[in-house]
Amino acid sequence: MIPSKKIELFCGTGGVGKTTLATSRAYSLAKSGKKVLLITIDPARRLKQILGIKDDNAGEVSTLTGEDFQFENGQLDALLMNPKTTLKRMAKLSQEGSSLDNPIVNILTKPYGGMNEIMAIIEVQHHLKTGGYDTIILDTPPGKHFIDFLQSSQKINQFFDKSFVDIFKYFGKRFSKSKEEQKSGFLSLIVKSGIKKLLSYLEKVTGESFVDEFIDAISGLYLNRSSFTEALVFQEDLKKADYSNWFLVTSVDQRKAHEATDLQQNAENFMHKDSFLVVNRSLTPYLENWQPDASHKGLVHLHSSMKARENTIKDMGAKRLNQYKEVLYFPEVLDIEPMTHVKNLASSWK
Amino acid sequence: MPLKSKDATTNFLSLPFILSKKTRLIMVTGKGGVGKTTLAMAITKALQEEGKKVLYNSFDQPLNQTLASKIDLPHFNLEMDSSARSYIAKKLGSETIAKWILKTPFFSSLFNMLPGLGHMILLGHIINKLEEDSELTIVLDSPSSGHAITMMESPRNFKEMFRTGLIVDDINRMERFIFEDERMNIVVTSLPTAMATQEAHELKEQLASRGVPHFSLVLNDLLSLSPSLKEASPGDLPEFIKTKCLHEERLLSELSDEEWKHIPHFAHERSPAIIKECQHLLTKGAPL
């Protein structure tokens, strides 16, 4: 079996079976005696169907106790990301709890409010620190949003960029404790002079109350910035081969080879030598045992188009082989029960 | 045909299922890899074939240029940055100020923090286009399901946030167009597995709870309905195909025929050939 690391990431375009594969990996590690946490931030929330988790406990870690999850030594915990719960915990930890009680922060941390990715980084960081897990497996959001996820740490940096913060210092809201205010120099003067004009334009478009509340929201987030900046450590750790495994998942039944390639190119900056290309729903073992009668034109056609799909993806794997430690093929599981998929795939990890 | 007990030809997807007389905007959504782009392009081509003035738009994702030119797809592009700039410029009456505003860290942060804001501006442009030309229909290839919800939820969120001002006026106009005038239909696409259709149902309910008035549910890539299997008897088929067909049939018997329409699996390697077959299905109501 591929040696496990502290963090394992499953990435890929949507609909490739990423969540099921991540679950199967978690399952097989737990079976081998590890204490594993599986986090999913996939908005489609397939995990809850597979693992029997309910929406009520989203945001909370639950240890799986069903009969399928009785392990001799290992343990499998699961967590559905809920940005609101993460935020609540952040506020509790900092002394500035009430500063996050703001209508805009509230909207932003709705499940589809747009802060999922940033909050996920903070969540992972938290469980790394406190959970005592051997491995945390992260099922990342699909496609383009996975890149957003990886780059969210840069967003955090940009967000707390000094010149940006200066803008808000100008309003003097809740920044009075800051020492830096005393040394407000030439730069902030320039920023200040432009700000009044900017705001008068902004208010025309957005309404007055928004500007006030937005400033409050930003101030609140700023006062809690240590949670955000600490999460940046996570991104650095991801780049270390002794710390993480990367699994790039793609599926044979998708006509999206070019999209998968794009994703890989984008992810190159983040990946290291322990990266694996995972090809899901491979029909190769089935196709090898099937040779349709030449008189059945339809079947010959079907057979060759299925084979062609397999080969497209194999070519892609071969071309980029130097980038990966290994290309892993998982045969399509012909069953309708999600748990059977998990168990079946888990046996392929060995 | 021994593979299917029901009469399979009666429930194929065709254009009337996707649009009513009122429909001007069709958004194709669903999980990744269900064939949204193929279907959105086929719908565009089929409407064009029927003599409608129609344009395809890939929304916030880059257009597949090669494919679009291969099938001679009528389309237009929108770019997020320039759309935002022209939106603000229009509102303030100055291109220079708009440029300046978007360069400030305040606005670049606002855009990063609120991904729905960019989507809403794009949607606003699309609705403008439709209001300017009453003959036009637009087919939108949307981002994957979760983010389609972000988009449909955005107007409400931003209204709650902004309360007054020019953006709120525009949101009201957009909501009227989509929700009250019933100009929009969302096509939720799914692969034929129990888990995927369950997700599609969830997505539909979530979108409905946000006020979207019209839906079409589409089951794509059905192997048991594939024209390639038409002449075959079960004895000719390998076990894995029989199993797949069996699962599909079990699923079909559980889904309502009024609610779900079907697209067969088209055994082609290249997208243009698949789009062509799908276009035929949409206009003629049966595969080639």
pLDDT digit string, tens, across residues A87-118: 888 888 777 666 677 777 877 777 666 667 77
User: Is residue B117 predicted with pLDDT exceeding 70?
Assistant: yes
| pLDDT tens, position by position, B28-65 | 988 777 888 999 999 999 999 999 999 999 988 888 89
pLDDT at A184: 46
Residue A197 lies in a domain: no
Residue A181 lies in a domain: no
Q: What is the mean pLDDT of chain B?
A: 86
User: Is residue B225 predicted with pLDDT exceeding 90?
Assistant: yes
Give the confidence band of A144 by pLDDT, cuts at 50, 70, 90. Answer: low
CA distance B23 to chain A (A): 27
What is the 8-class DSSP label of residue B65?
H
Q: Where are the alpha helices (DSSP H) in A57-115?
A: 83-93, 103-108
Q: How large is the ipTM?
A: 0.84
The least confident of A141-155, B89-103, B258-272 is: A141-155
| Phi-psi region at A188: left, alpha or beta (left = phi > 0; alpha = psi -120 to 50) | alpha
Interface membership of B288 toward A (CB under 8 Å): no
Q: Where are the alpha helices (DSSP H) in chain A?
A: 18-31, 46-51, 83-93, 103-108, 116-130, 144-159, 162-169, 186-206, 208-223, 225-238, 257-267, 284-288, 297-319, 338-348
CB A309 within 8 A of CB A252: yes
| Stretch 160-189 of chain B: residues touching chain A, C-beta under 8 Å | 160-168
Query: What residues in B contact A293, CB-CB < 8 Å?
Result: 236
User: Is residue A51 predicted with pLDDT exceeding 90?
Assistant: no
Interface membership of B247 toward A (CB under 8 Å): yes
| pLDDT tens, position by position, A171-213 | 544 344 444 444 444 444 445 555 666 667 767 777 777 777 7
Q: Pick the more confident residue, A239 or B267.
A: B267
CA distance B105 to chain A (A): 6
User: Is residue A18 predicted with pLDDT exceeding 70?
Assistant: yes
Spatial CA neighbour of B213 closest among B27, B11, B16, B15: B27
Q: What is the mean pLDDT of chain A?
A: 77
Average pLDDT over residues A222-226: 75
pLDDT at B249: 94
| A204 → closest Cβ in B105, B165, B193 | B165
Residue A161 lies in a domain: no
Biggest CA–CA distance in chain B, Å, is 72
Q: What is the CATH number of the domain that holds A132?
A: 3.40.50.300
Residue A251 lies in a domain: yes
Token couple for B224: 């048991």
Q: Positive or negative, the Cα torsion across B78, B84, B86, B91?
A: positive
| pLDDT tens, position by position, A160-172 | 665 555 555 555 4
Question: What whole-number percentage of chain A has pLDDT above 70?
Answer: 70
Mutate to test the interface with B, among A11, A203, A302 (most CBs of B within 10 A): A302
- Could A142 and B38 be called an inter-chain contact, meaning their C-beta atoms sit closer than 8 Å? no
pLDDT at A330: 95
Position A21, amino acid: L
Is this model's pTM higher than 0.90 or not?
Answer: no
Average pLDDT over residues B96-105: 76
| Full residue range of the structural domain in which residue A80 is found | 7-156+228-281+329-348
Residue A118 lies in a domain: yes
pLDDT at A173: 42
The least confident of A75-84, A328-337, B101-110, B207-216 is: B101-110
Cα dihedral: A234, A239, A243, A246 (round 10): 100
Residue A319 lies in a domain: no
Interface membership of A336 toward B (CB under 8 Å): yes
Interface membership of A240 toward B (CB under 8 Å): no
What is the 8-class DSSP label of residue B178?
I
Q: Which residue has the tokens 């509230």?
A: A106
pLDDT at A313: 83
Other residues' Cβ atoms within 10 Å of the Cβ of residue A321: 12
Distance CA A227, CA A200 (A): 33
Residue A2 lies in a domain: no
User: Is residue B148 predicted with pLDDT exceeding 80?
Assistant: no
Distance CA B73, CA B56 (A): 7
Q: Where are the alpha helices (DSSP H) in B163-219?
A: 166-175, 194-209
In degrees and rounded to multiples of 5, residue B259 shows phi and psi of -85, -40
Residue A55 lies in a domain: yes
Nearest CA in chain A to B94: A201
Q: Which residues contact A191 (CB under 8 A, 6 or more apart)?
A: A163, A166, A167, A170
| B227 → closest Cβ in A258, A298, A334 | A298
Mutate to test the interface with A, among B121, B150, B207 (most CBs of A within 10 A): B150
User: Is residue A332 predicted with pLDDT exceeding 60?
Assistant: yes
| pLDDT tens, position by position, B179-219 | 888 899 999 999 998 888 988 898 899 888 888 888 999 99
pLDDT at B238: 95
Number of domains in chain A: 1
